[in-house]
Amino acid sequence: MLFECLTGSVPFPRDTEMAAIAAHLTEPPPSARALRPELPAGIDAVLARGLAKTPQGRYSTAPELIDAAKAAFASNATTVALAPGLFDWWDARH
């Protein structure tokens, strides 16, 4: 979901649901920066871990993923246009 929020595209667009599932299971995570080069350099690593094939490779919790994404944006030297309030809902609860 984070990949789609940041890029406007699903990570594995395919013609059929079965093809999308197969891509999720077998293909490496795509680069969000390939679609939106203005995203921070660290976001691809965050998304790759979030889309890891095994549970052991992924973040243990949603808060870990959000914190990592926020850190990637905080370290970005350029301004990136995001949907207003993208992380506000999270900040309000934590």
pLDDT digits (tens, 9 = 90+) for 15-73: 999 999 999 999 999 999 999 999 998 999 999 999 999 999 999 999 999 999 999 99
- Cβ burial 71-90 (10 Å sphere, 16+ → b, else e): ebbeeeeeeeeeeeeeeeee
Give the closest residue to 29 by CA, choosing from 5, 50, 1, 55.
Answer: 50
Distance from C-alpha of 42 to C-alpha of 84, rounded to nearest angstrom? 21
pLDDT digits (tens, 9 = 90+) for 60-94: 999 999 999 999 998 865 556 555 566 665 566 55
Residues near 2 by beta carbon (within 8 Å), at least 6 away in sequence: 47, 50, 65, 69
pTM of the predicted model, to two decimals?
Answer: 0.79
